[in-house]
Amino acid sequence: MVPAFGKRLSRMARVLVVAALLAWIAAQVHWGDYEATDSAGVVTMQPGLASSLLAAHPAWLLAAVVASILSLLVGTLRWRALLRVQDVHIGVAEAFRLGFLAEVFNAIIPGMVGGDAIKVYYVTRRSKRTACVVASVLVDRGMGVGVMALFALVSVLAMCAIGYRVSDSLWMPALSGAVVILGVCGAMALLVSARLRQALRVDRMLARLPFAHHITAAHDALARYRHGDGLAIATGLAAVAQVLGISSVAFIGFGLNLTVPWYAYLLYVPLVTILAALPITPGGWGVMEGLYLLFFSTAGHSGTAAALAVLARGVLLCGALPGIFIFAFTSERPAVDMIRQLLKGNEANGPRHD
């Protein structure tokens, strides 16, 4: 009874956080056109959110949707390459199907189960190698976050190298990227090294993770990534996926005529993606939009920056549309309880593997 009440309280708290964030965003945005006075005292009419959205160029928005879907597909191929290192083989079409399904649960159906759990569920129905599949998902997630953080750090260094003055607006993104990279490296070291987990006594913390029961069993599977070409291939695909994801947001900015330098996208988009992926709100709603407004409003008007945030979310939802049709017509639609039993290690009570 108490755990159930705690879960309901947690969900209510997350909903309240989303509402608070969206209320803050709404308060920061000019919905209609407004007058602004510059440092010279000149008054000009600036576009609000509605005008910015209506003025967006359709061709750039279409390019953003295409780049976002390509990023998802390349990211799915990355995960497939990591699965092959574990000697778990799925076809390209099946990998894409699971990638789109995972996107639906990440972006549209928050609060039930995450996209990673969906992928683990479907693959283990056929392979029965839960630890290996979990290992691939953990490494895939860590690799994606690490590459994104590396993009942000490299962007800061590049901006400094070309003579961009390092101001207060840069030290925070640089520090955030460094912290994320250190965190990813530390997390991967904990997952790979049982001795390190024992020395630091982090078993209780790891026990709270969704795949807690399988992390110890995945130790040998994780060790396989120390050798072989599969990891190098996956790293290359991770870089390509991130370039496409960043390009998608940049295309939206181009369509909105947002006056920011190209390297700002390389710096801010990875940080927004990383921070929005933290389990603060379901699907990162409110967090992602707030971060886009916070980072990009300094280089443009708040209405245009808000339009960028709205359209970035819309593009992600467009990328999940194929997954909705796949989910609607799939014959193996799992129950949430089945997935939770699998993640807890209660496979004997879950679906049987034919």
Q: What is the overall mean pLDDT for the chain? A: 75
- Strands (DSSP E) along 10-66, which ranges? 34-37, 43-46
User: How much of the chain, in percent, has pLDDT values that exceed 70?
Assistant: 63
Matching residue, tokens 């870089």:
239
Specify if 22 maps to a domain.
no
Structure tokens at 333: 């639609």
Check: pTM over 0.85? Answer yes or no. Answer: no
pLDDT for residue 349: 33
Matching residue, tokens 């389990």:
279
Specify if 39 maps to a domain.
no
Specify if 177 maps to a domain.
yes
pLDDT for residue 216: 59
Specify if 125 maps to a domain.
yes
Q: Count the Cβ atoms, other than its own, within 10 Å of residue 220.
A: 11
Q: How far is CA 1 from CA 4, 7, 306, 336, in A?
A: 5, 10, 42, 19
Specify if 236 maps to a domain.
yes
139 close to 119: Cβ distance less than 8 angstroms: no
> Model confidence over 123-153: pLDDT tens digits?
887 777 777 888 888 888 888 888 887 877 7
Q: Which of 341, 342, 349 is nearest to 129 (CA)?
A: 342
pLDDT for residue 214: 57
Higher-confidence residue of 69 and 198: namely 69
- Spell out the residues 6+ positions from residue 237 whose beta carbon is closer than 8 angstroms to its own: 74, 75, 77, 78, 81
Range of the domain at 172: 47-349
Mean pLDDT over 186-208 rounds to: 66
- Spell out the residues 6+ positions from residue 77 whose beta carbon is closer than 8 angstroms to its own: 92, 95, 237
What confidence tier does 346 reach under pLDDT thresholds 50, 70, 90?
very low
Specify if 85 maps to a domain.
yes
- Spell out the residues 6+ positions from residue 5 whose beta carbon is closer than 8 angstroms to its own: none
- Return the axis-axis angle of helices 115-127 and 336-344, rounded to nearest 10°: 80
Domain tally, the chain: 1
pLDDT for residue 6: 59
- Strands (DSSP E) along the chain, which ranges? 34-37, 43-46
Mean pLDDT over 16-24 rounds to: 75
**pLDDT of 251 strictly over 90:** yes
Give buried/exposed letters for 300-338 (b at 16+ CB in 10 A, else e).
Answer: bbbbbbbbbbbbbbebbbbbbebbbebbeeeeeebeeeb
Altogether, the residues listed in the chain come to a count of: 354
Higher-confidence residue of 331 and 213: namely 331
Specify if 8 maps to a domain.
no
Higher-confidence residue of 269 and 172: namely 269
Query: Three-class SS of residue 318?
Result: helix
Specify if 243 maps to a domain.
yes
Contacts for 180-185: CB closer than 8 Å, 24+ residues apart: 180/145, 180/146, 180/148, 180/149, 180/152, 180/274, 181/146, 181/149, 181/150, 181/153, 184/142, 184/145, 184/146, 184/149, 185/146
Q: CA-CA distance, 117 to 125, in Å (whole number)? A: 12
**pLDDT of 189 strictly over 90:** no
* CA 292 to chain CA mean position, Å: 14
The alpha helices in 162-193, defined as continuous H runs, are 168-192
Higher-confidence residue of 100 and 146: namely 100
Q: Which of the residue ranges 114-128, 160-174, 203-217, 338-352 would you say has the lowest mean pLDDT?
A: 338-352
Matching residue, tokens 């130790």:
219
Q: Which of the residue ranges 80-84, 101-105, 110-114, 331-335 would you say has the lowest mean pLDDT?
A: 110-114
Matching residue, tokens 């190698």:
129
Structure tokens at 322: 């194929």
